[in-house]
Structure 1
Amino acid sequence: MSTRHDVHRPLYQALLDQRLDRWLARLPEQLDQALDPKRYGDLPAWEKAVAKLPALPEPRHVALDADSVTVDCELDASRQRQCENLLRALAPWRKGPYRLGGVSIDSEWRSDWKWQRLAPHLAPLRGRRVLDVGGGNGYHAWRMTGAGAAFTLVIDPSPRFFWQFQAVRHFIGEADQGRTHFLPVGIEAVPENLAAFDTVFSMGVLYHRPSPLEHLLQLKAALRPGGELVLETLVVRGDATTVLLPGERYAAMPNVYFLPSSAALTGWLERCGFENVRVVDEADTRLDEQRATDWMTFQSLADFLDPRDPSLTREGYPAPRRAVIIANRPG
């Protein structure tokens, strides 16, 4: 990973191997725009931190099917300290946990808990082509590959998450047989009517979209006929007519638009032409699932709730509650 070209080469090869020619043709422009240092002043520092990660000794033992995405190898104290300092230069780490060369990254989200809730309900991922929309630094994508996916692509427009992913890639090396990739773009960059993926995940994205039905249709267009959508988002309690439209902020987050009940969201999916729609999990977000840590030192969920009534956000809305809904594009 000494040059940016070296970082991108596997992605070009993967799209070629997957015969995603329409996307491949757009890739140079998408990468140039997404990783333009003029748009992100910290980007050169993140790139430099990843480039400085030391070579790792063999053997290394990689576990992509454990709660912590783990790479065990024998690093002396000096190199382990170097790794920790460079990984901290990429903070805040929102998704995880990871254990990389003896360095434990305690991320803001216990993303493993979300995976535990949804994994039993998925169509088996073995051999499938998977798209993870808004996948953050790629924690869940590594778990998807660990579950047997043949090709896993994360898309997320954050360049920080891109370089966090590349840092994890440095540790994992080729242990995943080159099956896991990251493109720093949003869903709008996916070619229209691609119909290429067996499973599409959209987790923590829908409530940031001012046109939620448009997002659902974009996800549907990326799926092959019969493919499976895994949708995880904020919801509220209520019936099929219940939708909350918050004000300027919700739980201190800007750009939060529509929070439907799971029943209303089921209706949206059916209106968009999905079938076999089912709610497989719904629960309030716990304070020990999203919290500030040594690797994410900013405010987190506890700071965004009403201190007198934790069932409410500090703006007075119902506290965060999340649902996982699975549906299929008709075959």
Structure 2
Amino acid sequence: MIQSLKRTLRPLLERLGLLTPYDPPNYRAVMFAALTRLKPSLQGQRVLEIGPKDGKDSERLASLQPETLVLMDIPANFTRNITSNAITPREHIPSWFHRLQLPGKSYKEGNILYLPPRELDALGQFDLIWCTGVLYHNPEPLRFIKRLFNLLRPGGLLILETSLTRHPILKNFNCVELLWPKSQRCLRMGDDDHTLIPSLVTPDARQSLSIQSNVSHLPSRLAVLSWLEMAGFHDIMEIPIPIPDQTRLGLSARKETFSGYTYSNRGPTPSPYGIGDSL
């Protein structure tokens, strides 16, 4: 109970300087520290952050003075906090965005995986993509990772963080845990976005993650590593995250000149379709 209360009050404790050396650092701050070791400066570079949430990571990225910082999140109309049957839609442009001290900043609404071709082309390519707490919300993780790969310039860097399965057996294998039908007992009712079906789910003792309708599955560590390799990433390195039981995974990975594996290499003519690309 004390640890739970501490997690809730952590932002306030951080501002007041009341955290002790025995309190583990915020895992997103750990991810950023790993980035600065790989890229001490982002001057002259293009950066894409997917899922900026509360803007804390956006502020950190802006402090490295990139030439361009594009922040993308799903449209505000689709954001609902349903873990407690409450509705809290996000602002279309969050208030914290205006506080970012960076001339080259921009905020876009949209799902990076399903953008129309014209909007996708307009984004261009990036030197760095920062993506934390997003992968496990996406129903097509391999295709999502391939999209990130295609949005990077050759030599570009991906910083990725995701939640993992807590299942005591599945977490040791190269697999994905499907949360169906538990995740669907929190759906909005019919076409009415303001009426929620109360959750009847009793949380599994092995699952510390709140079950939401936008979390349909949780991958194992090996599954995430496999997806990155299949998409074509190189120099994949894990970033140690100070969270018990290894329930989250942080990674850095680079895009080189290799364009990724294809669906079939048999026969005299290799397949033109890359793994994870839309057919």
TM-score over 0.5 for the alignment?
A: yes
Does residue 201 of the first structure (1) align with residue 116 of the second (2)? no
Partner of 1:284: 243
AA in 1 matched with 2:215:
V
Quick one: which amino acid aligns to residue 96 of structure 2? V
2:236 is paired with a residue whose SS is strand
Counterpart for residue 242 of structure 1 = 175
Distance 1:170 1:276, change over 3 A: closer
Give the residue type in structure 1 aligned to 2:33. P
Any idea what the Cα deviations from partners look like across 1:193-216, whole Å, max 9, x if unmatched?
Answer: 965100011211111111110100
Partners of 1:222 and 1:239 in 2: how far apart? 31
Q: Deviations over 1:33-55 (max 9, x none)?
A: xxxxxxxxxxxxxxxxxxxxxxx
**2:65 matches 1:126:** no
Q: CA deviation at 1:218?
A: 0.9
1:226 and 1:220 map into 2 onto residues whose CA distance is: 11
Return the alpha-carbon distance in structure 2 between the equivalents of residues 181 and 97 of structure 1: 26
Q: AA paired with 2:42? A: R
Counting only pairs closer than 5 Å after superposition, residues 80-119 of structure 1 correspond to structure 2 as 113-119=26-32
Q: CA deviation at 1:227?
A: 0.5
Residues 138 and 116 of structure 1, relative CA distance in 2, 3 Å threshold = closer
| Counterpart amino acid of residue 134 in structure 2 | V
Provide the secondary structure at the position in 2 that maps to 1:191.
helix
In the alignment, which residue of structure 1 is the partner of 2:108?
183
Q: Which residue of 1 aligns with 2:216?
A: 257
**Aligned residue pair count:** 189
Q: 1:210 to 1:97 in 2, by over 3 A?
A: same
Say yes or no: does 1:136 pair with 2:53: yes
CA distance in 1, matches of 2:229, 2:27: 24
Question: How far apart are the structure 1 equivalents of 2:247 and 2:34?
Answer: 19
Residue matched to 1:156: 73
Secondary structure at the residue paired with 2:160? strand
TM-score by length of 1: 0.50
> Residue 321 in 1 paired to residue 247 in 2?
yes
Change (3 A) 1:257 1:282: farther
Change (3 A) 1:217 1:192: farther
Task: Give the drift of 1:141.
Answer: 1.3
Change (3 A) 1:97 1:130: farther
Whole-angstrom CA distance in 2 between matches of 1:181 and 1:200: 15
Secondary structure of 2:120's counterpart equals coil
Structure-2 separation of matches of 1:118 and 1:217: 21
Contact 2:176 2:218 in 1 (8 A): yes
Runs of 4+ in 1 over 6 A off after TM superposition: none
Q: Secondary structure at the match of 2:214?
A: coil
**One-letter amino acid matched to 2:153:** R
Deviation by residue 1:131-153 (Cα, 9 ceiling, x = unmatched): 01111243311210112222111
The one of 151, 154, 160 equivalent to 1:222 is 151
- Larger relative contact order (CA 8 Å, sep ≥ 6): 2
| Structure 2 alignment gaps of length 5 or more | 1-7, 17-24, 77-88, 184-208, 258-279
Note the C-alpha offset of 1:275: 0.8
Name the CA shift for 1:270/1:211 in 2 (closer, same or farther; >3 Å): same
Gaps of 5+ in 1: 1-93, 105-111, 286-310, 312-319
Contact 1:225 1:329 in 2 (8 A): yes
CA distance in structure 1 between the aligned counterparts of 2:131 and 2:91, rounded to whole angstroms:
17
